[in-house]
Homo-oligomer: A and B are copies of this chain.
Amino acid sequence: MTENIIFKALSDPTRRAIFDKLAGGGRNATALREGMEISQSAMSQHLSVLREAGLVREERQGRYVHYEVEPQGLLLLIRWLAKYRTYWPARVDALKALLKDMDQ
């Protein structure tokens, strides 16, 4: 689960869209395809890449496979970004929201 695999996995917009959908709630591959104009095979391959990168976890449930975001998945990316926090813009909405979330 190297940093590089994660960046590669997230470098494709379709995979980021899939990840985003999963972040809104775990579901199976068929449900993921809804409204996405993507073949069954392509979806399966994308999910495989996301899983290899540790961004997604899967669990078989009967004849479906349930996918969901792996909470540890973004860790390396967070660490990578944190290395450069001297370069983060000082006042960023996202940061403020993040702070509010964490400050407890």
Contacts and interface: CB of A to CB of B under 8 A. Distances in A.
Number of copies: 2
A51 to B, nearest CB: 15
- The majority secondary structure among interface residues of chain A is helix
A92 to B, nearest CB: 6
Contact of A82 (B4, B80, B98): B98
A75 B99 contact: no
Interface residues of A, number: 38
A102 B79 CA distance: 16
Given A81-B78, A84-B23, A71 B89 contact: yes
Given A69-B87, A88-B74, A103-B103, A97 B81 contact: no
Contacts of A8: 11
A64 interface: no
A18 B98 CA distance: 28
Interface of A: 4, 7-8, 10-11, 13, 16, 20, 23, 69, 71-75, 77-89, 92-95, 97-99, 101-103
